[in-house]
Homo-oligomer: A and B are copies of this chain.
Amino acid sequence: MSATDGDIMDKNESADKRETGTLGKLMVLLDIVTHADSPMRFTDILAVAGQPRGTLHRQLGHLTEEGLLEVLADGRYAPGLRLLDLASRSWARNEFRLIAEPHLNALQQLTGETVHLGVLRGASVIYLDKVEGSQPVRMYSQIGNASPIYCTGVGKAALSALPDERLDAIISSVSFQRFTEHTLTPETLRREISDIRHSGNAFDREEHEVGIRCVAAPVYSEDLSFVGGVSVTGPAYRLTFERLEEWALPVRRAAESIMSGMRIGLGPRR
């Protein structure tokens, strides 16, 4: 901040500083409000946003006017509905999802269990699709959700596709939370990744939630501009370890089908 330094930091060694000007500041606010677990008052936001009051007031006003935030009757701020509209379009037209869809259905038919499709986004997995058996689905509860990479089948599968440097960068940027007694640590994760690279399958053996297991396989574009995974998930009593092994191959096959679908396209327009 002073005029005398600016020598050590300059090498843009720290590539994590976003350069998105006004938009970036607004997105920080949007994140604050959407990540809160209840609507926030002006003052609550003020406390965490580190902006002067006048500025914050105008920024929130703009976000609200655009429908990205909503002001409740009591003046508190909540995420706005415009986000839903934007997201539903984003989802409906997502190329990867469209290509994967039939393969997910086939995999669901074959296994009878829930099938997931997810992509790596930063240091999380975002679920893009979910095909369940016959129970009514609460879908938004899963799709679009950002979940940890180190304790989901899709997450680990995705990681396994990355070159070591990107892998390391991600692992070191994440704080590992212990969800169950089986949740991995950075070290055990690294070991597992190398297993996955050999076998082609990732497993989640109750690492995120007790009683839930899954088999996954990586899906990635040739240039690794994106990596993700497909998985079959179910209750531990049905997904015995033998079952997991049994479905490892079909899951891999589905992943391969999706990848070959991507190469052919929807691709270079028409």
**A-to-B contact residues, CB < 8 Å:** 18-24, 26-27, 30-31, 34-35, 37-39, 62-63, 65-67, 72-74, 76, 78-95, 119, 121, 126, 128, 131-137, 139-141, 143-146, 221, 223, 225, 267-269
Are A66 and B121 in touch, CB under 8 angstroms? no
List 26 A-B residue pairs with CB atoms under 8 Å apart, sorted by A's residue number: A18-B66, A20-B66, A21-B22, A22-B22, A23-B62, A27-B66, A34-B86, A37-B93, A39-B95, A67-B121, A73-B267, A74-B267, A78-B90, A79-B86, A79-B93, A81-B128, A82-B121, A83-B86, A84-B91, A85-B145, A87-B88, A88-B140, A88-B145, A92-B141, A131-B136, A140-B143
Q: Residue on B with the closest CB to A30?
A: B86
Knowing A19-B65, A132-B136, the reply to whether A81 touches B90 (Cβ < 8 A) is yes
User: With the chains together, A136 CA to B115 CA distance in Å?
Assistant: 12
Kindly identify which residue among B38, B72, B85, B90 contacts A146, using a CB–CB cutoff of 8 Å: B85
Are A89 and B79 in touch, CB under 8 angstroms? yes
User: With the chains together, A27 CA to B72 CA distance in Å?
Assistant: 22
Are A89 and B34 in touch, CB under 8 angstroms? yes
User: With the chains together, A214 CA to B145 CA distance in Å?
Assistant: 31
Are B79 and A144 in touch, CB under 8 angstroms? no
A22 proximity list for chain B (CB < 8 A): 21-23
A22 to B: closest C-beta gap in Å: 5
Are A140 and B19 in touch, CB under 8 angstroms? no
Are B67 and A143 in touch, CB under 8 angstroms? no
Interface centre among A37, A126, A139 (most CB of B within 10 A): A139
User: With the chains together, A145 CA to B139 CA distance in Å?
Assistant: 14
Knowing A24-B66, A87-B87, the reply to whether A81 touches B38 (Cβ < 8 A) is no
A131 proximity list for chain B (CB < 8 A): 136
Are B92 and A24 in touch, CB under 8 angstroms? no
User: With the chains together, A95 CA to B20 CA distance in Å?
Assistant: 32
